Amino acid sequence: MSGELLKLTTYFGEHDRTEHQLLADALFALYGRERVWVSAMLRGIEGFGRHHLAHTELLLTLSEDLPIMSVALDAPERIEALLPRVLGLKRRGMVTLERARPLGGPLQGQPGLQLPADLADQAKLTIYLGRRQRVRGTPAFVAACELLRRHGMDGATVLLGVDGTLAGVRTRARLFNVNPDVPILVIAVGAVTAVRGAMAELHRVLERPPITVERVRVCRRAGVELSDPSPLPPVLAHDEPWAQKLTVHSTEDDRVDGRPLHRVLVEHLRRQRLAGATTLRGVWGFHDDLAPRGDRLLQLRRHAPVMTIAVDQPERIAEVFDEVARITGRAGLVTVETVPTRVFPSD
């Protein structure tokens, strides 16, 4: 895959239905039939949509419709052709289109690998791996995180897909199946210099997986303010209209006033009536100069990484950011991105 890509991201509830089946099943059946290059369904642990109803795994009464986030990545003309069919299935929730560039060509130091000029100082990498992919006996996502941290990336969160496509082939996670090809996403942010340093080794060690790069601004890291949340300006006519995506990487044991940071954050965003927010639990990751970590057996406290995503107009993100800064005053990696979108929001 070469050239510019489009990433179609949808947010909905796990019990949302089409006329005949669950929306999640219908959506990924479509992606499988159309052999979408890469897609993944990610289950959230809490969040809210435009109607501001809380959904959380914390309480049984609120956990019956947990949030789902799905991504589909392919050539622009293929995603554009799919979009009307996706909207025909999806009757509520948020849908965004984002530009991404593949980094799957010749390696660093050879002709062909050129990071986009509009990246400025920082970038977001997304690495798409198979769930059971290994590097010398170590899970590939663990090896990727170690590599990215060694090259100076600010943080990374590994998200486990439960359905999706890799190279156009659909694989679903099943209870009694090793699920070798179900997609797993490594989402990392850091300086462009760190990206340049890591690219050749990523391709060599991980055997040239699909990798995309996007623009991002790192606003806070480990309680230190690095930048304000002013939006990155659009660079192409395609980028209009656009919204802003706020992302906070943290861990389940990060606390604010004795409560989990991600839960305090979602409650604040909901009180401020943002268009929506979703928290995803990762299986591995790092940020704030901590070693990569995840859940382990017999732990008294959960150390799994979590990633909270909120999308709204830039002025709304600016309005909530002071409290976001307070909540992440001691921990967390906070980023903002410009999100080109045609259908925002579509509740």
Residue 320 has pLDDT above 90, yes or no: yes
- Residues 212-232: pLDDT tens digits? 999 999 999 999 999 999 877
Whole-number mean pLDDT of the chain? 85
Residue 65 has pLDDT above 90, yes or no: no
The percent helix, strand, coil of the chain (3-state, each to 5) is 25, 35, 40
The band of 51, judged by pLDDT with boundaries at 50, 70 and 90, is: low
pTM of this structure:
0.90
Q: Distances from the Cα of 166 to the Cαs of 51, 201, 273, 277, in angstroms?
A: 34, 21, 36, 27
- Residues 11-20: pLDDT tens digits? 998 888 898 8
The band of 203, judged by pLDDT with boundaries at 50, 70 and 90, is: confident
Least-confidence region, from 6-20, 30-44, 53-67, 287-301: 53-67
Residue 276 has pLDDT above 80, yes or no: yes
Q: State residue 50's pLDDT score.
A: 65
DSSP 8-state secondary structure symbol assigned to residue 51: T
- Angstrom distance (rounded) from CA 153 to CA 123: 10
Tokens of 108: 């660093």
Q: State residue 180's pLDDT score.
A: 63
Residue 49 CB contacts under 8 Å (≥ 6 apart), including other chains? 11, 13, 67, 92, 93, 94, 275, 276, 347
Q: Which of 165, 128, 161 is nearest to 35 (CA)?
A: 165
Q: Which of 278, 283, 281 is nearest to 296 (CA)?
A: 283
Q: Which of 303, 121, 135, 142 is nearest to 226 (CA)?
A: 121
Mean pLDDT for the stretch of residues 258-283:
95
- Residues 92-109: pLDDT tens digits? 778 888 888 888 543 333
Q: State residue 314's pLDDT score.
A: 92
Phi, psi (5° rounding) for residue 206?
A: -95, 5
Q: Distances from the Cα of 194 to the Cαs of 209, 227, 229, in angstroms?
A: 18, 18, 22
Q: State residue 52's pLDDT score.
A: 56
Q: Taking a C-beta distance cutoff of 8 angstroms, is the pair 2, 104 a contact?
A: yes
- Residues 130-143: pLDDT tens digits? 988 999 999 999 99
- Angstrom distance (rounded) from CA 224 to CA 177: 44
Residue 255 has pLDDT above 70, yes or no: yes
* Ramachandran quadrant class, 312 (left: phi over 0; alpha: psi -120 to 50; beta: rest): beta
In the chain the domains, ranked by start, together with CATH numbers, are 219-340 (3.30.70.120)
Residue 295 has pLDDT above 70, yes or no: no
Q: Which of 272, 266, 281, 287 is nearest to 223 (CA)?
A: 287
Other Cβ atoms closer than 10 A to 324? 23
Q: State residue 90's pLDDT score.
A: 78
Query: Does a cis peptide bond (omega within 30 degrees of 0) precede residue 241?
Result: yes
Please report, to the nearest 10 degrees, the dihedral formed by the alpha carbons of residues 161, 168, 339, 195 taken in order: 80
The band of 62, judged by pLDDT with boundaries at 50, 70 and 90, is: very low
Q: State residue 182's pLDDT score.
A: 85
| Residue 156 identity | A
Phi, psi (5° rounding) for residue 120?
A: 60, -125
